[in-house]
Structure 1
Amino acid sequence: MKDGRDEKGGGRKKRVRFPLVIKLIGIISIIVVVSMALVTGIASWFFSEDSRARAEENTLTVSQVLAAQITGRIESTHSGTLSLLDTLRENAGNRSLERAAVSNWFDRNASVALVSVPGQKEIRNDKFFKANELDSAALQPFLESAKGLIERAKEGESLVANASPSVGIPAAALFVPYRDMGTRNALVIVFSTEEFLQMVQTDSAGINYVVGWDGGLIVHPDFDLVKMGANFSDRELVKKALESPSDNLQIRYRDVDGTRYLGAFRRLSVGALAVTSSTPTALVYRAATDVLRRNFLLSGVVLLISVLAVWFFSKSISRPVLSLVRAAHRIEEGDFELDILPETRDELGLLTESFVEMGKGLAERERVKETFGKFVNKEIAEQALKGELKLGGQRKTATIFFSDIRSFTAISERLSPEAVVEFLNEYMTRMVACIEKTGGVVDKFIGDAIMGVWGAPVSAGTPRDDALAAVRAMLMMRDELLEFNKGRGTPEKPFIHNGAGVNTGPVIAGQIGSLSRMEYTVIGDAVNLASRIEALNKPFGTDVLISEYTWDLVKDAVIAEPMPAITVKGKTAPLTIYAVVKMKGDEGPGSLSELREKLGIADPGKKIEVDKEEVKYEIVG
């Protein structure tokens, strides 16, 4: 390379003074400093995970310790009660020994309020009732309501129920089977849970409580909940404790109030009880959050300094990029003539220059496409610009449409050539818009006649979809013509009537002509039939006719009336033609006679005359 020129192509190769990679290296160097904050965040995350693990271990340990203490206390009371009953049975009949045994036992078990073997024996601790200022009959309603539990205990179950709502103090009742001398009975022990309440009331952030077999609270730090007989069966931790096949488990859960917890439970071997311990997740992560907050504060200072440096440094990059973004938006909106200038002498500067050149190329291509599209349909214009046009065709099922203006020759003779061109252009503009709105393609203009196609080169999906689109286009043309005729009716602006014929069938669609001059069109018998059907509008007194082939596709959506059968040149069987009234569900005339009245078309009656020279068909029906 010499003098900055490319030796192979001779074009001048542009060099950048400050490559973009150098700028990126500077930015990345600053980002490395900022990444320290990320490292701090990861370290904080590990710290928080360690805190969580310790909290989970603590909740499990607490639940297991509490379960062991409560189990031991209940089993001790149970075994002591059985010893008392054995002593009373051995000293039966000796009232003084019985009273001494009971008194001594209640002195050692002051927390027990009542021992009962229903139907056999009931022993009350009068000192307990006096100490707690309770009436001696305070437990009677509770025992009456617990008959079901007594029966379950007789059958072998061991249950603990909350007695606090009845007596107003921390209390519970143990219902266990009692087998004595061949009898099947139950043993009921009512005792104070004050000791258990002290066990669950800890200074830690965790919450500990005891529930029964049905989720009812037995012991809770908030005695008011126990006193009102609260049931925690809807709590996630309690559900797990009651349903899990495991006797102990750790879980993370969201409580009914939306608070997240780390929890654990331990089921007791007696009384169908479960001890739960939980700690709010927010408290577990508080220490980690504080550490993280301090680390992020320090990282934020570093980040702020880095951002300021990057911001000042990146101005040389952001301005050209934003300029290119605005230019891209202009291109999206169709404005290809860009007036942006390179602000830097790096890769972005080269990109800006290329962007401007690209805009010029797109503008030129759009002008060619727009100009070309006025002479052929847009799809063909697109293929021509891509160099994809070639001679040949392919078989397709299409719907073909022909229309022309009634008595156009007579109208054009009364008007000046300028007036004819003016009204014809306005008429064609309205009609073509209806074709294009429904997905059709204008194949060609033949004087005042229009030929349109649905299904080639593009299709709406199926032959039925194409046929329906063609019929909708005809009805739109009818409305447009009524609008066009408003204000007309003078010799200078006569009323315009037209006729449309539609047929659906197989065609050959493709480029017809020579390598130097070709045209996209459709040919075939279906096209000829559509043209002949269009000519039937005048003798039939109609404006839109469709063949029986089109009718078979759209009859479920279109209201039409059959016309007299015809024989067409080249066809042996008669052909039924249908006059389209409207789409089903649309407003407007409900019959052909009402439609003729609206359009101002005379009813030809039974006598239908046909110009044999103009139309190659014969009416036979």
Structure 2
Amino acid sequence: MGYGSDASRNQSILNQQFFITHESDPSVLDLFLQTAAPVVRRSCAGETVATNPSPFFALPMMTVFFPYKENGFDQTCAITFSLDSILEIISSNSTNTSFLINDSDELLVHPLTERILRGESMRNYPLVRIMRTQNKNGTDSRQIPFEDPEAPALGELVSSSLIAEVAGEKKLFSFSSFVEKVFNFISEHDFLIRKLGNLEVSHKDFYGAYCKISVGDISVLTTVPLAYILEGVETTRRNNIYLTLVVFFLSIIAILFFGRYAISRHLRRLTIVADKIQSGNFDLEEKQLKRLSSNRLDEIGVLNQSTKDELDFLNTFARFTNKNVAKAIARKEIDFEPHLKDITIFFSDIRGFTSISDGFNKRFGDDSPKEIINFLNDYMARMVECVSLSGGNIDKFEGDAIMAVWGLMREDSLEFEHLPEGSPVRLDAQKAHLAHVKQDALNAVMGTIAMRYALMKYNKDAMEYTAQHENDAHASFKPYIRIGCGINTGRATCGIMGGSEKMEYTAIGDSVNFASRTESSNKACGTDILFTEATYNMLKDEFIKNPSNNFTIREDYAPYEIVVERIPVDFDVKGKGVQHFYGVVNMPAFDVEAFFRRGNPDFVADPDCLKAVGPDGPTTLDEVREMLGIPTPDFAKVNLNAEENKVQVRK
């Protein structure tokens, strides 16, 4: 029974079968606990106390109060149990008498159950007095002789034989065996030798032993008449051991029970959360966090709160840097040394953002920064979702521009390039590497296609938002926008850049600059999504119908088909020669709902925006231009080499 100062928190677990079998009323337990209030207070204060409830139950019983804490409250667990098993042990040999007392010398266990039922005090018993008054060294166990003036006569002791009643059986006590046993105990029982010198033992002479148990300050005492000492000492020792073990194991059970539910269970929960954080999982379920109770006033409560604070910091830290990079750092997977990687780089930019900003300034004045940030946060949150769901990493934001990378966190060494040409190991590694790079390029196109849908949904929401607030005193609005996206696949230097005060994990190099140039060429090409010839060559055999695959795509690649049109303007790229851009028309089998449900299982696509991509999407670049309101350029006047001068390399 859990018991404390707050009665509303008291709990009990009753063995109803016990009360039925012994025809006892459970209310007796409540009556006993009411009278045991001083003991309850001692236990709540931190003591383990044993007491005798037998007078209440009219049955041999014992109650042990174990202190514990729960949710900051001092509690006690009162375990009341029958003494049948213990009485069976100590009553198995009538040669000696074993009994238990508590720190108040109250009789807890005795072979004569009527003494237990009377609730006798053993304070005046000679062995108890000796234990309490003459234990100068404070030992927990001792074997001592003593005299009990009130002991009944045991009968005459004859020199040749002694007939003793032991456990209901007659046993012959021979002189020869008597002498043999005496010599066995000479070294440690000089007193007994002196007593038995003339084979005259008084019925008042006893040999007593006691052992103090740390649990509940219980003392186990055993007395043996000297007439039987030689044949009963081994049994006595065994009984003491058994009795000690019984009480010991009862204590262990209680300690394990409360240790499991008060400490171990909470530590296991804390360990699970800590392991998930260490593995880079910062997005823990609310249910798991609630199980880390910080209302506890002990060390576990402090640890729980510290873990929650650490998780909040890591989530905030991840938002200000890069979530995948933060997780890699937590998992100790980040490579701080710069190295080359084949990656796919993405840039996007809002068309006419300067004019949009001027519009905010004219409309909102001093409040324009807040309104611009709110607008950009709404737009960028949608774009970031597309990058994350397609396996990319946001590298940085530059004003209204976004830089993202696919393959940045991939563990993919280029050491195979140093192996001999045609080596099987090199060919296998090269094949695996190419598959990874190709998948990154495909994921980048899928993420960018998803952005087209997300942008159309944003524009629809922005128009509805503006219409809802047009009559407000300070009418809010969100602008209708168009963006340009550029994708390039190539080799870049990846690693940690910066100093001790500020660092970031990023990619730099010609491939990054070319991706930025590709994005800025959308306006001249009349497109919203362009990718380079390097990305085209990476994807064309499996995912793009073209002469190299006889305009046929394998069935297993059909769900990822990409429709593109080559921009009819060539341009020079340093080190690569004449190049072309490719405008992305659509991915005809793209499933908008399946894509966004990777992050939100309840996502439902807006029917009005499904025309942006997928089965209902455009089939030519002209249809894309018409859908997005992009004028068709006069390609005879387009000079993409001149566009290079407009590129600003993103740092």
| Interval of TM-score (by shorter of Structure 1 and Structure 2) | 0.3 to 0.5
TM-score, length-scaled by structure 1 = 0.44
TM-score, length-scaled by structure 2 = 0.42
Highest RCO, 1 vs 2 (Cα 8 Å, sep ≥ 6): 1
Greater Rg by CA: 1
